[in-house]
Amino acid sequence: MPVYPGSGQATLLRDKSQRYLFQQEQVAVGRASMAVQLERISRSSYPWGLSVQIYFTDASGKPADPGACEIDLQMSDIDQDTQYCTAAQFTGGAALNANYVGRAEFLSFYARFARAYVKTLTNSVYVSILATR
């Protein structure tokens, strides 16, 4: 399971690439995903973008209701657990479509690191979160 391994161990997310923060995993409440460090295209190209898509499934990959949940998208300039701050939230219902999928785009994104944090999750579902640079 790609959970947050600790300070200074974020994996590089290169321009025009994708990486799963969680990939069809049953995640315990209170766990953070692996962190990604966004590759800088050049020193003069601020800001840069990041999109994140989240979806919930059952064991066979079919859409599944997460129930009352909150998954936080967190950002930081320092890759330390205590430094991450919530930039967006996915909650069961309003932030998800009828197939339990949510998406967020950060068009003006300055932070160096990003991850997801499972704050609450009522139902036993599989969580997938894909970050695209």
pTM as predicted: 0.89
Q: Which domain holds residue 120?
A: 11-132
Domain contains 30: yes
Q: Provide the domain count of the chain.
A: 1
Q: Tell how strand 48-57 and strand 69-76 pair up.
A: unpaired
Q: Tell how strand 18-25 and strand 126-132 pair up.
A: antiparallel
Domain contains 6: no
Domain contains 4: no
Burial of 28 (0-12, 13-18, 19+ CB in 10 A): exposed
* Closest of 70, 115, 73 to residue 91, by C-alpha: 70
Model confidence pLDDT, tens digit, residues 26-68: 999 999 999 999 887 666 666 678 899 999 999 999 999 999 9
Q: Are 38 and 48 in contact (CB under 8 A)?
A: yes
